[in-house]
Amino acid sequence: MDRLLWVDLAAGRTRKTRVPEEWKSCYLGGRGFTSRVLYDLVDAHVDPLSPENVLTVATGPLDGTLSPSSGRFTVGCKSPLTGLLGDANSGGHFGPELRFAGYDAVIIQGRARGPVYLLIDDDHVELRDASHLWGRGVFDTVSALEKAHGSDVKVIAIGQAGENLVPYANIMAAGHNAAGRTGVGAVMGSKNLKAIAVRGSRDIPVADDERFLAKVRECHRKLIADPTYADFSEYGTLILVDIAQASGGLSTRNGQLGLFEHYEDISSHVYQDTYKLASKACFSCILHCKNYARVASGPYQCENMGPEYETMVTLGSRVGVGSLAAILKANQLANDYGLDTISAGTSIAFLMECSQRGLIDERYEWGDADFVIDCLRKIAYRDGIGAFLAKGVKAMSREIPGSEGFALHVKGLELPAFDVRTGKGFALGEAVASRGGDHLRALPNFELLSKTREEGIRWFGSPDCVDPYTENGKVPMVIWHENYGAVCDSAEICKYCTFATYAVMPKDVADLLTFATGRAYSETDLLTIGERIVNVERVFNLRCGMTPDDDTLPKRFLTEGLAEGPAKDVTVDLGRMLPEYYSRRGWTLDGVPTREKIEALGIEVKGVA
Amino acid sequence: MASRYETLDLLTRGNDMDIRVFEPTKCTGCRNCELACSIAHFGAFNPKRARIRVLRRGCAEELHVCNHCNEHPCVAACRRGALTWDDGEVFVDEAACDLCGDCVTACPSGGIRVFDGDLLVCDLCHGDPMCVKFCTTGALVLKAR
């Protein structure tokens, strides 16, 4: 705890420093730290795959404690996929272990001469030769490191995709938890860093243990009492497949449709009845939304954690695949290669639609599960068609005239499963998210949960904000979620316990942090920290060359209504939300944070309006 | 001592007549039991100090803890008389223990460990185990003996 581990791969040296007080008080940890490092240490113009990029792995101040669902970590760097701020957040058990070893964050600079892995055993830190691991998949790599250093080490690693610099490669924790967006795995690969293995045995004390435990218990009770707890703890995120189909937004055939004809074959109930073996939890989580499943026989035989809802859509309905066994197999392979299933699936879906529309000569059929599975390997090795798919949707569409309108990305990051025509708060959130086309920056589930109009007024001052299909009243709701989301990502507490359920609220997190750290936090303090992080990220992106024109969505969602279902004929009108969003953020009409705003948030002024 | 937390509003309340039972299919591997154990006995979170441990092997969660079993080979293995069996429970005399580890080897459950100068043997929190209090899935429950 309380230390930063600096790793200079070029020199093969490591050093330890105290975490600056200002980082803790103003940025909490996790994503706050990774974004702060980018803001301070990374020249906006560096090539993301050059040694000058900095890769930061950061834990939060609740990691390692009993605080509910608080065992996450964030990896940050400049993204090779978007050329903007990149980060990815993961659960599992790695974050707490790093903190038990005594480190709040690891900051990795330079490039090793050959493949290495970083071994952290409490105070003992060592870079070791990883030649024998290079070329191997994630599962193999994790097993080899557990065999070498004991089964109690916790490992994050890249697969072949990261080694081969696929710009949407993941860093995988224990083989099934993915730090899975913006290509953080490629940056790790560019540094010749195959893995980090950590074991920690230090105490994590809390300032007021009695009140801390009482607060934990209160949060547990609220979570269990929440109406969404039953489904979430039973089905995990797969319940969203059913919800998406019901709302007409189950992204099908690259978002041409919102209802999937094979929905019945990939529903959460089929998964539950046919393949699921057990529910699993990340560290300190009582929600246990992860699923462990097995396909016992046949061509898609496999056994692994997952998949999650995102993968069920992006390697399922979005590419037209209605075989659940095939999706499970594809998920396992993507995890082993270390590929972002959202970006990979969406790239394949894009290629299929280009084929459907005759924009390319080759024929690729919707629903061809074996083709999808084969593509994953080819992407990871940049082999044949995989070399093209590995560019990502934005770069692919540049090479295929007439395809821009259905290239499902924002700022170069492929869009997640949710069809934003069926949730206008999500639409705004994904248009402005600091890591590109991402739902988790805002995640305004409030509009999807059938809240009453009275609740809408009470929470966000608008009766309309509870209606997913309208733009009205969405801006204050999205801003609150973005700010609180940044807090969750920085405290490293899971958003599914803070606002998929709305059980653990900012006041609760403030209490948990206060009792854990002895530093007094109020709800207002936390939301200001969240706002500070959002602004720091915005400024970094502007330095990288992002313009307000990039705060948009694929033309498909702005102009093409869905053909059927509850969202029939609905399109997104960003013009009704963006000016108000900029204004309420205290940004100029061009979406640039003003000097007054930056100074009021106590951010060192670099390159603002 | 676990009694520090007895004023907390917690879900379960055991008594000396109860025994802890593990139902492996209900365990999700969250490790809250390890955390509750370490803070109850050491005042800090540290799974390495926990007297109860859950290890994930593929899909299975393996529990390693002293079950206070009727065979208690640990007691016979101890050459210094530091372990005794009384009224259905294993007790440790810390002053007599030299951390030789013979009991660790003898335990069939992998339920005893030595860490940082301590012999880690479950004491059932004197009848009101913290691990059970913080197990929300029902994998650890108390049942009447």
- Assign residue A411 a region: left if phi > 0, alpha if psi is -120 to 50, beta otherwise? left
Check residue B87 and give its pLDDT.
Answer: 85
Q: What is the mean pLDDT of chain B?
A: 89
Tell me the chain B residues in contact with residue A200 when contact means C-beta distances shorter than 8 Å: 48
**CATH architecture classification, A3-199:** 4-Layer Sandwich (3.60)
CA angle A514, A518, A524 (to 5 degrees): 35
pTM for the model: 0.96
Model confidence at B145: pLDDT above 90: no
Nearest one of A432, A456, A430 to A443, comparing CA atoms = A430
Supply A561's token pair.
């209504």
Helix (H, G, I), strand (E, B) or coil at A329: helix
Go through A150-172 and write b for each residue having 16 or more CB atoms within 10 A of its CB, e for each that does not.
eeebbbbbbbbbbbbbbbbbbbb
pLDDT of residue B31: 97
A252 pLDDT more than 90: yes
Position B3 pLDDT exceeds 70: no
User: Is residue A166 scored above 70 in pLDDT?
Assistant: yes
Interface of B with A (CB under 8 A): 4-5, 7-11, 25, 28-32, 35-36, 39, 42-49, 55-56, 58-59, 115-116, 134, 136-137
Query: Quick check: B11 pLDDT over 60?
Result: no
Integer Cα distance of B104 and A70 in angstroms = 32
3-state secondary structure of B111: coil
CB pairs under 8 A between A and B: 83
- Please state the domain extents for chain B: 27-65+122-145, 69-121
Neighbours of A227 (CB within 10 A): 12
User: What confidence category does residue B14 fall into, taking pLDDT thresholds of 50, 70 and 90?
Assistant: low
pLDDT of B68-80, one tens digit each?
Answer: 999 999 999 999 9
B136–A206 CB contact, under 8 Å: no
Check A217 against B43: CB less than 8 A apart.
no
| Helix residue spans in chain B (DSSP H) | 32-42, 73-77, 102-106, 130-133
Do A249 and B40 contact (CB within 8 A), yes or no? no
Complex ipTM over 0.90: yes
Q: Residue B88's pLDDT band (boundaries 50, 70, 90)?
A: confident
- Please give the distance of CA A84 from its chain centroid, rounded to a whole number: 15
Per-residue pLDDT for A165 more than 70? yes
> Residue A169's closest CA among A182, A157, A155, A152?
A182
Please compute the mean of the pLDDT values over residues B23-38 and round it to a whole number: 97
* DSSP one-letter code for B65: -
pLDDT(A384) > 50: yes
CA-nearest residue to A200 within chain B is B48
pLDDT tens for A76-129 read 999 999 999 999 999 999 999 999 999 999 999 999 999 999 999 999 999 999
| Structure confidence at residue A206 as a pLDDT band (50, 70, 90) | very high
Bridge partner list, A153? none
Q: How many residues does chain B have?
A: 145
Q: Do A294 and B55 touch (CB under 8 A)?
A: no
DSSP, residue by residue, A542-572: HHTT--GGGS---HHHHHPPBSSSTTBT---
39-78 in chain A: CB under 8 A from chain B: 64-66
Residue A165 identity: L
pLDDT of residue B7: 47
Among A196-205, A440-449, B124-133, name the one with the lowest average pLDDT: B124-133
* Pairwise CB contact (< 8 Å): B10 & A217: yes
pLDDT in tens, B50-67: 999 999 998 999 999 999
- The domain limits of chain A are 3-199, 229-414, 420-600
Fold of B69-121: Alpha-Beta Plaits (3.30.70)
Nearest to A284 among B25, B30, B44 (CB): B30
Rounded Cα distance between B81 and A602, Å, is: 63
Per the rule left: phi > 0, alpha: psi between -120 and 50, beta: everything else, A523 is alpha
Q: Which CATH class is domain A420-600?
A: mainly alpha
Q: Which pLDDT score, from 0 to 100, does residue A54 have?
A: 98
**CA of residue A279 relative to chain centroid, distance:** 21
CATH topology of domain A229-414: 1.10.569
**3-class DSSP state of A271:** helix
* Neighbouring C-beta atoms of residue B104, cutoff 10 Å: 18
Q: In this complex, do B8 and A217 lie within 8 Å of one another by their Cβ atoms?
A: yes
**Confidence at residue B12, expressed as pLDDT on a 0 to 100 scale:** 53
Mean pLDDT of A64-76: 98
Tokens representing residue A593 in the block:
């944070």
Measured CA to CA, the distance from residue A550 to residue A600 in angstroms comes to 26
